[in-house]
Structure 1
Protein backbone atom coordinates (compact mmCIF):
# COMPACT_ATOMS: atom_id res chain seq x y z
CA UNK A 1 0.00 0.00 0.00
CA UNK A 2 1.35 3.44 -0.91
CA UNK A 3 0.60 7.10 -0.21
CA UNK A 4 2.38 10.15 -1.63
CA UNK A 5 3.10 13.50 0.00
CA UNK A 6 4.91 16.45 -1.57
CA UNK A 7 7.50 18.26 0.55
CA UNK A 8 9.25 21.59 -0.26
CA UNK A 9 12.65 20.84 -1.77
CA UNK A 10 14.51 22.81 0.89
CA UNK A 11 13.04 20.47 3.55
CA UNK A 12 14.18 17.23 1.90
CA UNK A 13 17.57 17.34 3.64
CA UNK A 14 15.84 17.72 7.02
CA UNK A 15 13.59 14.75 6.26
CA UNK A 16 16.54 12.55 5.30
CA UNK A 17 18.90 13.70 8.04
CA UNK A 18 22.63 13.20 8.40
CA UNK A 19 23.63 9.96 6.66
CA UNK A 20 19.92 9.13 6.39
CA UNK A 21 19.48 8.88 10.17
CA UNK A 22 16.19 10.79 10.35
CA UNK A 23 14.67 8.82 7.50
CA UNK A 24 15.66 5.51 9.07
CA UNK A 25 14.29 6.59 12.45
CA UNK A 26 10.94 7.54 10.95
CA UNK A 27 10.74 4.28 9.00
CA UNK A 28 11.45 2.29 12.15
CA UNK A 29 8.96 4.24 14.28
CA UNK A 30 6.06 3.70 11.87
CA UNK A 31 7.20 0.44 10.21
CA UNK A 32 7.10 1.97 6.73
CA UNK A 33 9.47 2.49 3.81
CA UNK A 34 10.12 5.98 2.45
CA UNK A 35 11.05 6.67 -1.15
CA UNK A 36 12.15 10.30 -1.50
CA UNK A 37 12.57 12.11 -4.82
CA UNK A 38 14.82 15.06 -4.01
CA UNK A 39 14.22 16.56 -7.45
CA UNK A 40 10.43 16.85 -7.27
CA UNK A 41 9.98 16.73 -3.49
CA UNK A 42 7.61 13.76 -3.74
CA UNK A 43 7.72 11.36 -0.80
CA UNK A 44 6.18 7.91 -1.24
CA UNK A 45 5.13 6.12 1.95
CA UNK A 46 5.00 2.35 1.49
CA UNK A 47 3.64 0.02 4.13
CA UNK A 48 2.30 -3.45 4.68
CA UNK A 49 -1.24 -3.21 6.18
CA UNK A 50 -0.64 -6.51 7.97
CA UNK A 51 2.35 -5.11 9.88
CA UNK A 52 1.58 -1.40 10.30
CA UNK A 53 -0.70 0.08 12.96
CA UNK A 54 -3.78 1.51 11.16
CA UNK A 55 -3.66 4.68 13.29
CA UNK A 56 -0.02 5.26 12.34
CA UNK A 57 -0.91 4.62 8.69
CA UNK A 58 -3.46 7.41 8.92
CA UNK A 59 -1.25 9.88 10.83
CA UNK A 60 2.15 9.30 9.21
CA UNK A 61 1.42 11.41 6.08
CA UNK A 62 0.56 14.29 8.44
CA UNK A 63 3.90 13.78 10.18
CA UNK A 64 5.70 14.14 6.84
CA UNK A 65 3.64 17.26 6.10
CA UNK A 66 4.60 18.73 9.48
CA UNK A 67 8.31 18.23 8.77
CA UNK A 68 7.82 19.65 5.29
CA UNK A 69 6.14 22.73 6.74
CA UNK A 70 8.97 23.65 9.09
CA UNK A 71 8.64 21.44 12.16
CA UNK A 72 11.70 19.55 13.38
CA UNK A 73 11.52 15.74 13.13
CA UNK A 74 12.00 15.41 16.92
CA UNK A 75 8.85 17.47 17.51
CA UNK A 76 6.86 16.04 14.61
CA UNK A 77 7.38 12.44 15.79
CA UNK A 78 5.06 13.21 18.72
CA UNK A 79 2.24 12.85 16.20
CA UNK A 80 2.75 9.07 16.38
CA UNK A 81 1.34 9.16 19.91
CA UNK A 82 -2.34 8.21 20.02
CA UNK A 83 -3.37 11.34 21.92
CA UNK A 84 -1.64 13.82 19.57
CA UNK A 85 -3.31 15.48 16.58
CA UNK A 86 -2.36 17.66 13.62
CA UNK A 87 -3.68 21.03 12.45
CA UNK A 88 -2.48 23.02 9.43
CA UNK A 89 -3.45 26.59 8.49
CA UNK A 90 -2.79 28.30 5.17
CA UNK A 91 -2.52 32.00 5.94
CA UNK A 92 -3.31 32.83 2.30
CA UNK A 93 -6.93 32.15 3.17
CA UNK A 94 -6.75 35.19 5.48
CA UNK A 95 -4.26 37.58 3.86
CA UNK A 96 -4.20 36.54 0.20
CA UNK A 97 -1.21 35.68 -1.98
CA UNK A 98 0.80 38.89 -1.64
CA UNK A 99 4.26 38.12 -0.28
CA UNK A 100 4.48 41.21 1.94
CA UNK A 101 1.14 40.41 3.61
CA UNK A 102 2.26 36.84 4.28
CA UNK A 103 5.58 38.10 5.66
CA UNK A 104 3.75 40.49 7.98
CA UNK A 105 1.47 37.70 9.20
CA UNK A 106 4.43 35.37 9.80
CA UNK A 107 5.95 38.08 11.95
CA UNK A 108 2.74 38.45 13.96
CA UNK A 109 2.42 34.69 14.49
CA UNK A 110 6.03 34.34 15.64
CA UNK A 111 6.31 37.61 17.55
CA UNK A 112 9.43 39.54 18.51
CA UNK A 113 12.24 37.03 19.05
CA UNK A 114 9.65 34.25 18.89
CA UNK A 115 7.79 35.37 22.02
CA UNK A 116 4.24 34.82 20.74
CA UNK A 117 4.99 31.37 19.38
CA UNK A 118 6.69 30.36 22.63
CA UNK A 119 3.78 31.76 24.65
CA UNK A 120 1.27 29.69 22.67
CA UNK A 121 3.42 26.56 22.97
CA UNK A 122 4.02 27.04 26.70
CA UNK A 123 0.36 27.64 27.55
CA UNK A 124 -1.08 24.85 25.41
CA UNK A 125 1.60 22.15 25.42
CA UNK A 126 1.50 22.17 21.61
CA UNK A 127 4.30 22.32 19.06
CA UNK A 128 4.00 25.16 16.56
CA UNK A 129 5.86 25.86 13.31
CA UNK A 130 5.47 28.82 10.94
CA UNK A 131 6.88 28.22 7.47
CA UNK A 132 6.17 29.99 4.19
CA UNK A 133 2.42 30.55 4.06
CA UNK A 134 1.51 27.85 6.59
CA UNK A 135 1.16 27.31 10.32
CA UNK A 136 1.39 23.78 11.73
CA UNK A 137 0.21 22.71 15.19
CA UNK A 138 0.66 19.36 16.93
CA UNK A 139 -0.94 18.75 20.32
CA UNK A 140 -3.38 16.76 22.41
CA UNK A 141 -7.15 17.13 22.58
CA UNK A 142 -6.86 19.60 25.47
CA UNK A 143 -4.16 21.90 24.14
CA UNK A 144 -4.79 21.84 20.41
CA UNK A 145 -8.13 23.72 20.54
CA UNK A 146 -6.51 26.42 22.70
CA UNK A 147 -3.58 26.83 20.31
CA UNK A 148 -5.92 26.78 17.29
CA UNK A 149 -8.07 29.54 18.78
CA UNK A 150 -5.00 31.69 19.44
CA UNK A 151 -3.65 31.20 15.90
CA UNK A 152 -7.04 31.94 14.34
CA UNK A 153 -7.39 35.14 16.37
CA UNK A 154 -4.02 36.34 15.10
CA UNK A 155 -4.92 35.40 11.52
CA UNK A 156 -8.14 37.41 11.88
CA UNK A 157 -6.14 40.45 12.96
CA UNK A 158 -6.54 40.49 16.76
CA UNK A 159 -3.90 42.34 18.76
CA UNK A 160 -1.33 40.27 20.63
CA UNK A 161 -2.61 41.53 23.97
CA UNK A 162 -6.13 40.36 23.15
CA UNK A 163 -4.86 36.94 22.05
CA UNK A 164 -2.79 36.53 25.21
CA UNK A 165 -5.67 37.47 27.52
CA UNK A 166 -8.10 35.19 25.68
CA UNK A 167 -5.70 32.23 25.83
CA UNK A 168 -5.03 32.77 29.53
CA UNK A 169 -8.79 32.98 30.20
CA UNK A 170 -9.57 29.84 28.18
CA UNK A 171 -6.78 27.94 29.89
CA UNK A 172 -8.00 29.06 33.32
CA UNK A 173 -11.60 28.13 32.49
CA UNK A 174 -10.56 24.65 31.37
CA UNK A 175 -8.61 24.11 34.57
CA UNK A 176 -11.56 25.23 36.69
CA UNK A 177 -13.93 22.96 34.75
CA UNK A 178 -11.57 20.01 35.22
CA UNK A 179 -11.28 20.66 38.96
CA UNK A 180 -15.04 21.04 39.26
CA UNK A 181 -15.59 17.73 37.49
CA UNK A 182 -12.95 16.02 39.61
CA UNK A 183 -14.56 17.34 42.80
CA UNK A 184 -18.03 16.23 41.71
CA UNK A 185 -16.76 12.75 40.84
CA UNK A 186 -14.84 12.41 44.12
CA UNK A 187 -17.84 13.59 46.12
CA UNK A 188 -20.11 11.26 44.22
CA UNK A 189 -17.78 8.32 44.77
CA UNK A 190 -17.92 8.85 48.52
CA UNK A 191 -21.73 9.00 48.66
CA UNK A 192 -23.98 5.95 48.62
CA UNK A 193 -21.26 3.65 47.26
CA UNK A 194 -22.92 0.71 48.93
CA UNK A 195 -26.30 1.50 47.39
CA UNK A 196 -24.76 1.96 43.94
CA UNK A 197 -23.30 -1.53 44.14
CA UNK A 198 -26.79 -2.93 44.66
CA UNK A 199 -28.25 -1.26 41.56
CA UNK A 200 -26.59 -2.25 38.26
CA UNK A 201 -25.73 0.75 36.08
CA UNK A 202 -26.52 3.34 38.76
CA UNK A 203 -22.89 4.41 39.25
CA UNK A 204 -22.43 4.97 35.51
CA UNK A 205 -25.70 6.89 35.25
CA UNK A 206 -24.71 9.17 38.13
CA UNK A 207 -21.30 9.77 36.58
CA UNK A 208 -22.92 10.80 33.29
CA UNK A 209 -25.21 13.14 35.20
CA UNK A 210 -22.24 14.74 36.98
CA UNK A 211 -20.40 15.27 33.70
CA UNK A 212 -23.51 16.84 32.19
CA UNK A 213 -23.95 19.21 35.13
CA UNK A 214 -20.30 20.26 35.06
CA UNK A 215 -20.59 21.15 31.36
CA UNK A 216 -23.55 23.51 31.85
CA UNK A 217 -23.16 27.27 31.64
CA UNK A 218 -23.65 29.32 34.79
CA UNK A 219 -26.70 31.57 34.04
CA UNK A 220 -25.14 34.32 36.17
CA UNK A 221 -21.98 34.37 34.02
CA UNK A 222 -23.00 36.92 31.36
CA UNK A 223 -19.91 36.35 29.20
CA UNK A 224 -20.41 32.57 29.14
CA UNK A 225 -24.12 32.94 28.34
CA UNK A 226 -23.38 35.39 25.51
CA UNK A 227 -20.80 33.02 24.04
CA UNK A 228 -23.21 30.10 24.25
CA UNK A 229 -25.95 32.06 22.48
CA UNK A 230 -23.75 33.07 19.55
CA UNK A 231 -24.78 31.37 16.31
CA UNK A 232 -22.38 29.59 14.01
CA UNK A 233 -21.96 30.83 10.44
CA UNK A 234 -24.32 28.16 9.10
CA UNK A 235 -27.00 28.76 11.76
CA UNK A 236 -29.90 31.21 11.80
CA UNK A 237 -33.01 31.97 13.79
CA UNK A 238 -36.34 32.73 12.13
CA UNK A 239 -39.68 33.67 13.64
CA UNK A 240 -43.12 32.86 12.31
CA UNK A 241 -46.62 33.34 13.64
CA UNK A 242 -48.80 30.26 14.06
Structure 2
Protein backbone atom coordinates (compact mmCIF):
# COMPACT_ATOMS: atom_id res chain seq x y z
CA UNK A 1 0.00 0.00 0.00
CA UNK A 2 1.30 3.42 -1.04
CA UNK A 3 0.32 6.78 0.44
CA UNK A 4 0.36 10.19 -1.20
CA UNK A 5 -0.35 13.56 0.44
CA UNK A 6 -2.40 15.93 -1.74
CA UNK A 7 -2.61 19.71 -1.80
CA UNK A 8 -6.24 19.42 -2.87
CA UNK A 9 -8.19 16.19 -3.31
CA UNK A 10 -10.95 17.83 -5.38
CA UNK A 11 -9.79 16.42 -8.76
CA UNK A 12 -9.09 13.04 -7.18
CA UNK A 13 -12.53 12.78 -5.54
CA UNK A 14 -14.25 13.86 -8.75
CA UNK A 15 -12.55 11.13 -10.82
CA UNK A 16 -11.97 8.45 -8.17
CA UNK A 17 -14.10 5.72 -9.79
CA UNK A 18 -12.61 6.24 -13.26
CA UNK A 19 -9.06 6.24 -11.84
CA UNK A 20 -9.69 3.04 -9.87
CA UNK A 21 -11.08 1.30 -12.97
CA UNK A 22 -8.33 2.39 -15.35
CA UNK A 23 -5.43 1.94 -12.91
CA UNK A 24 -6.66 -1.37 -11.39
CA UNK A 25 -6.15 -0.11 -7.82
CA UNK A 26 -8.26 0.82 -4.84
CA UNK A 27 -8.00 4.46 -3.69
CA UNK A 28 -8.98 5.47 -0.16
CA UNK A 29 -9.13 9.21 0.53
CA UNK A 30 -8.78 10.43 4.12
CA UNK A 31 -8.54 14.21 4.40
CA UNK A 32 -5.63 15.20 2.18
CA UNK A 33 -4.14 11.71 2.20
CA UNK A 34 -4.75 9.09 -0.48
CA UNK A 35 -3.94 5.42 0.10
CA UNK A 36 -3.44 3.23 -2.95
CA UNK A 37 -3.67 -0.54 -2.78
CA UNK A 38 -3.34 -3.09 -5.52
CA UNK A 39 -0.62 -5.07 -7.27
CA UNK A 40 2.87 -3.55 -7.13
CA UNK A 41 3.05 -2.61 -10.82
CA UNK A 42 -0.43 -1.09 -10.73
CA UNK A 43 0.44 0.84 -7.54
CA UNK A 44 3.57 2.21 -9.22
CA UNK A 45 1.60 3.41 -12.28
CA UNK A 46 -1.09 4.86 -10.01
CA UNK A 47 1.52 6.78 -7.97
CA UNK A 48 2.86 8.43 -11.14
CA UNK A 49 -0.65 9.33 -12.34
CA UNK A 50 -1.68 10.66 -8.92
CA UNK A 51 1.53 12.71 -8.63
CA UNK A 52 0.60 14.40 -11.91
CA UNK A 53 -2.93 15.05 -10.64
CA UNK A 54 -1.48 16.44 -7.40
CA UNK A 55 0.75 18.73 -9.44
CA UNK A 56 -2.28 20.24 -11.16
CA UNK A 57 -3.00 18.18 -14.27
CA UNK A 58 -6.51 16.96 -15.00
CA UNK A 59 -7.23 13.27 -14.50
CA UNK A 60 -7.65 12.84 -18.27
CA UNK A 61 -4.17 14.23 -18.97
CA UNK A 62 -2.62 12.34 -16.06
CA UNK A 63 -4.06 9.03 -17.31
CA UNK A 64 -1.96 9.46 -20.46
CA UNK A 65 0.95 8.39 -18.23
CA UNK A 66 -0.31 4.79 -18.36
CA UNK A 67 1.29 4.69 -21.81
CA UNK A 68 4.94 3.64 -21.42
CA UNK A 69 6.06 6.23 -24.00
CA UNK A 70 4.67 9.18 -22.01
CA UNK A 71 6.65 10.64 -19.10
CA UNK A 72 5.93 13.05 -16.25
CA UNK A 73 8.65 15.34 -15.02
CA UNK A 74 8.80 18.60 -13.13
CA UNK A 75 11.51 21.24 -13.05
CA UNK A 76 12.10 24.11 -10.66
CA UNK A 77 12.42 27.58 -12.19
CA UNK A 78 14.88 28.69 -9.49
CA UNK A 79 17.48 26.17 -10.71
CA UNK A 80 17.81 27.99 -14.02
CA UNK A 81 17.67 31.68 -13.11
CA UNK A 82 19.01 34.07 -10.52
CA UNK A 83 16.25 36.61 -11.04
CA UNK A 84 14.42 37.82 -7.98
CA UNK A 85 11.14 38.50 -9.83
CA UNK A 86 10.01 35.01 -10.68
CA UNK A 87 6.60 36.39 -11.71
CA UNK A 88 8.32 37.78 -14.82
CA UNK A 89 9.82 34.38 -15.61
CA UNK A 90 6.45 32.66 -15.19
CA UNK A 91 4.88 35.33 -17.42
CA UNK A 92 7.47 34.56 -20.13
CA UNK A 93 6.64 30.86 -19.91
CA UNK A 94 2.91 31.45 -20.20
CA UNK A 95 3.06 34.28 -22.74
CA UNK A 96 0.35 36.75 -23.70
CA UNK A 97 -3.01 35.05 -23.16
CA UNK A 98 -1.21 31.69 -22.84
CA UNK A 99 0.19 31.74 -26.39
CA UNK A 100 3.74 30.66 -25.52
CA UNK A 101 2.61 27.78 -23.33
CA UNK A 102 0.06 26.68 -25.95
CA UNK A 103 2.64 26.88 -28.77
CA UNK A 104 5.13 24.71 -26.86
CA UNK A 105 2.38 22.21 -26.06
CA UNK A 106 1.25 22.04 -29.71
CA UNK A 107 4.72 21.74 -31.23
CA UNK A 108 5.93 19.08 -28.78
CA UNK A 109 2.64 17.21 -28.21
CA UNK A 110 3.08 17.84 -24.48
CA UNK A 111 1.05 19.25 -21.60
CA UNK A 112 2.45 21.86 -19.21
CA UNK A 113 1.27 22.98 -15.78
CA UNK A 114 2.88 25.86 -13.92
CA UNK A 115 2.48 25.82 -10.15
CA UNK A 116 4.42 28.31 -8.08
CA UNK A 117 8.06 27.96 -9.03
CA UNK A 118 7.65 24.53 -10.62
CA UNK A 119 6.71 23.44 -14.12
CA UNK A 120 5.09 20.04 -14.64
CA UNK A 121 5.56 18.36 -17.99
CA UNK A 122 3.71 15.42 -19.51
CA UNK A 123 5.33 14.60 -22.84
CA UNK A 124 6.36 11.74 -25.11
CA UNK A 125 9.66 10.25 -23.96
CA UNK A 126 11.45 11.07 -27.22
CA UNK A 127 10.47 14.76 -26.96
CA UNK A 128 10.93 15.29 -23.21
CA UNK A 129 14.50 16.58 -23.49
CA UNK A 130 13.52 19.09 -26.19
CA UNK A 131 10.65 20.38 -24.03
CA UNK A 132 12.97 20.81 -21.04
CA UNK A 133 15.58 22.55 -23.20
CA UNK A 134 12.96 24.92 -24.62
CA UNK A 135 11.62 25.76 -21.16
CA UNK A 136 15.07 26.32 -19.67
CA UNK A 137 15.98 28.57 -22.60
CA UNK A 138 12.85 30.65 -21.95
CA UNK A 139 13.63 30.79 -18.23
CA UNK A 140 17.15 31.99 -18.99
CA UNK A 141 15.81 34.76 -21.23
CA UNK A 142 15.86 33.49 -24.83
CA UNK A 143 13.36 35.09 -27.18
CA UNK A 144 10.14 33.17 -27.68
CA UNK A 145 10.70 33.11 -31.45
CA UNK A 146 14.12 31.47 -30.98
CA UNK A 147 12.56 28.79 -28.78
CA UNK A 148 9.79 28.13 -31.33
CA UNK A 149 12.40 27.86 -34.11
CA UNK A 150 14.44 25.43 -31.98
CA UNK A 151 11.41 23.21 -31.38
CA UNK A 152 10.31 23.27 -35.02
CA UNK A 153 13.85 22.43 -36.13
CA UNK A 154 13.95 19.49 -33.69
CA UNK A 155 10.55 18.29 -34.95
CA UNK A 156 11.67 18.54 -38.58
CA UNK A 157 14.84 16.54 -37.84
CA UNK A 158 12.85 13.79 -36.13
CA UNK A 159 10.39 13.54 -39.03
CA UNK A 160 13.07 13.64 -41.73
CA UNK A 161 13.85 10.36 -43.43
CA UNK A 162 17.06 9.79 -45.34
CA UNK A 163 16.60 9.86 -49.12
CA UNK A 164 18.64 6.71 -49.59
CA UNK A 165 17.74 3.72 -47.46
CA UNK A 166 20.28 1.56 -49.28
CA UNK A 167 17.61 -0.07 -51.43
CA UNK A 168 18.24 1.82 -54.66
CA UNK A 169 20.82 0.80 -57.20
CA UNK A 170 23.40 3.44 -57.89
CA UNK A 171 23.49 5.17 -61.29
CA UNK A 172 26.01 2.69 -62.69
CA UNK A 173 23.47 -0.11 -62.28
CA UNK A 174 25.30 -1.94 -59.50
TM range (shorter): 0.7 to 0.9
The CA distance in 2 between the partners of 1:159 and 1:71, in whole Å, is 27
TM-score of the aligned structures, taking structure 1 as reference length: 0.63
The CA distance in 1 between the partners of 2:108 and 2:95, in whole Å, is 17
Q: Secondary structure at the match of 2:39?
A: coil
Residue-pair matches, total: 169
CA-based RMSD: 2.3
Aligned to 1:121: 105
For residues 185-230 of structure 1, the C-alpha deviation after alignment (integer angstroms, 9 at most, x for no partner) is: 4x44x77xxxxxxxxxxxxxxxxxxxxxxxxxxxxxxxxxxxxxxx
Any stretches of 5+ residues in structure 2 without a counterpart?
170-174
Aligned to 2:7: 8
The answer as to whether partners of 2:134 and 2:151 remain within 8 angstroms in 1 is yes
Aligned to 1:80: 66
Point out the structure with the larger helix share.
1
1:120 Cα deviation (Å)? Answer: 0.7
1:227-238 equivalences under 5 Å are none
Cα gap change, 1:112 to 1:60, in 2 (>3 Å) = same
Please say if 1:151 is aligned against 2:135. Answer: yes
Aligned to 2:91: 107
1:31 Cα deviation (Å)? Answer: 0.8
TM-score of the aligned structures, taking structure 2 as reference length: 0.84
Q: Secondary structure at the match of 1:142?
A: helix
Cα gap change, 1:102 to 1:61, in 2 (>3 Å) = farther
Aligned to 2:153: 169
Structure possessing the higher radius of gyration over alpha carbons: 1
1:1-242 equivalences under 5 Å are 2-9=1-8, 12-17=9-14, 22-38=15-31, 41-49=32-40, 54=41, 56-95=42-81, 101-176=85-160, 179-180=161-162, 183-185=163-165, 187-188=166-167
